[in-house]
């Protein structure tokens, strides 16, 4: 249990379809016209956000702080992708998720993702203070 009413074993998902906008070729992360690793990572982050952010008090959100991901299978354009996240550890405001991604045939990615609970206004102020003047 945490001060934010989150609990280990919470789950979330995110879905997309492979298209021109999320291929390795489009991201510049490869020369092949298949689902790109950056797109898979973003989908895994979205699944993690969907797991916990809705249960945080108003004015709070999470930001990604660490990823350890393997992209283990290619997915061509036209296929659907589902990413899932399971909250596996709560350490104060640091959250650890087990993340996986599947296309319609097989598992295409897996790993862990860490997010940190932030107070939005305070976070935005600190970021703005870094702006070049």
Catalytic residues: 37, 45, 71
Tell me the chain's radius of gyration from C-alpha atoms: 16
69: closest CA among 103, 23, 101? 101
Q: Cβ(42)–Cβ(83) under 8 Å?
A: no
Q: Cβ(88)–Cβ(96) under 8 Å?
A: yes
CA distance 21 to 120: 29
């Amino acid at each position: 249990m945490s001060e934010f009413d989150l609990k280990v074993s919470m789950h979330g998902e995110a879905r997309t379809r492979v298209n021109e906008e999320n291929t390795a070729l489009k991201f510049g992360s490869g020369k092949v016209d298949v689902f790109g690793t950056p797109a898979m990572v973003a989908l895994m982050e979205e699944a993690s956000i969907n797991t916990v952010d809705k249960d945080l008090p108003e004015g709070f959100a999470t930001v990604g702080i660490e990823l350890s991901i393997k992209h283990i299978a290619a997915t061509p354009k036209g296929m659907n992708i589902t990413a899932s996240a399971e909250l596996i550890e709560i350490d104060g405001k640091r959250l650890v998720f087990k993340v996986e991604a599947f296309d319609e045939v097989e598992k295409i990615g897996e790993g862990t993702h860490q997010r940190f609970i932030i107070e939005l206004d305070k976070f935005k102020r600190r970021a703005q203070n870094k702006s070049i003047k």
